[in-house]
């Protein structure tokens, strides 16, 4: 297992350089009933697209939104109020995960085309860059503060300021994209991309990788998130195998059984995260072809 760099190699940006401006708008939601879930539309006021990427135990939601001028901004939705997350050196920013403490991990794009991860904790934004890589994406964050993601040198786990290349035991030629990690820091999920197809995967211990495929011939399966119970969410598609999946259908995988997650009336749905209460967030494609965030709350 490869270990590189330390906390001292990171660049820190103080709170005064971060615009955390509350939009002052309560969430205006459209609630739709389906057989097993109540679906709530999530859209930042004034945006042209909104993605919901992560949800914590308290129900706080993070994601990104696009504006008509081409801007891409991160946000946190807490108690019905959206707050924008900005970075002074970013051309675009996306919040990907939020843990129970309210720490947020994500990705930002600089004006020179570089892609970097970040951690926002206690009002301080920390720059995350894997030393042997040209780009770093921070996708997953657990309550212990571990971060997982992907770089051009492979998937990584960042713990206590040290990068570890994971998952171990992978197959050469397969791009393992890590999306989430449980609080124990060992159980991880993500998506494996190879010439033979796209599959979800789970790694429960070092050297062990189990591929996950939706039972549909020719389908591409993506795993996006996981909770502490081991429930997983993602999407399956047959038409377009790269995000945003054109004909995607979201799913919940619990105890080996797949349950469809699909926003009513949507062209496609992509489930991104699930908390321990079973509440799911993600994005869907509306009839106009726009991506819109959603929350799906179990009816039981």
Cα(232)–Cα(16) distance, integer angstroms: 38
Report long-range pairs for 105-113 (Cβ below 8 Å, ≥24 apart): 105/138, 105/139, 105/140, 105/141, 105/147, 105/149, 106/62, 106/74, 106/138, 107/137, 107/138, 107/139, 109/72
Across 11-24, b (16+ Cβ under 10 Å) vs e yields eebeeeebeeeebe
| Token pair listed for 296 | 């799906």
Domains of the chain: 3-17+34-42+111-298 (2.120.10)
What is the band of 168 on the pLDDT scale with cuts at 50, 70, 90?
Answer: confident
What is the band of 195 on the pLDDT scale with cuts at 50, 70, 90?
Answer: confident
- How many other β-carbons are positioned within 10 Å of the β-carbon of residue 242? 11
Report yes or no: 239 and 247 within 8 Å, Cβ to Cβ. Answer: yes
Least confident span in 137-146, 190-199, 213-222, 234-243: 234-243
Task: Summarize pLDDT for 109-144 with one digit per residue, the tens.
Answer: 998 888 999 999 998 999 999 988 899 999 999 999
Across 149-159, b (16+ Cβ under 10 Å) vs e yields bbbebbbbbbb
| Token pair listed for 2 | 């490869």
Q: Write the DSSP symbol of residue 169.
A: T
Cα(294)–Cα(214) distance, integer angstroms: 22
Please give the model's pTM, rounded to 2 decimal places: 0.88
């Amino acid at each position: 297992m490869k270990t590189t760099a330390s906390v001292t190699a990171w660049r820190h940006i103080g709170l005064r350089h971060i615009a955390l401006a509350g939009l002052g708008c309560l969430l205006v939601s459209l609630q739709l009933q389906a057989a097993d879930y109540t679906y709530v539309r999530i859209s930042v006021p004034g945006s042209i697209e909104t993605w919901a990427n992560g949800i914590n135990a308290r129900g706080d939601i993070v994601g990104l939104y696009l504006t008509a001028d081409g801007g891409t901004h991160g946000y946190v939705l807490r108690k019905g109020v959206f707050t924008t997350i900005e970075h002074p050196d970013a051309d675009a920013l996306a919040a990907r995960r939020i843990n129970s403490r309210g720490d947020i991990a994500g990705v930002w794009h600089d004006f020179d085309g570089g892609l970097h991860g970040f951690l926002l904790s206690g009002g301080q934004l920390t720059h995350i860059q894997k030393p042997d890589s040209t780009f770093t994406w921070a996708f997953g964050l657990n309550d212990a503060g571990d971060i997982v993601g992907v770089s051009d040198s492979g998937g990584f786990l960042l713990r206590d300021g040290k990068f570890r290349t994971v998952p171990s035991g992978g197959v050469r030629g397969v791009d393992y994209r890590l999306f989430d990690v449980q609080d124990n820091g060992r159980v991880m999920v993500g998506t494996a991309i190879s010439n033979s197809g796209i599959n979800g995967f789970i790694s429960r211990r070092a050297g062990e990788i189990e591929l996950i495929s939706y039972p549909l011939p020719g389908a591409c399966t993506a795993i996006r998130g996981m909770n502490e119970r081991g429930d997983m969410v993602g999407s399956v598609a047959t038409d377009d195998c790269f995000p945003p999946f054109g004909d995607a259908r979201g799913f919940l995988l619990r105890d080996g059984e797949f349950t469809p997650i699909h926003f009513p009336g949507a062209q496609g749905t992509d489930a991104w995260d699930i908390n321990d209460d079973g509440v799911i967030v993600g994005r869907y494609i509306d009839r106009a072809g726009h991506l819109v965030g959603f929350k799906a709350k179990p009816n039981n």
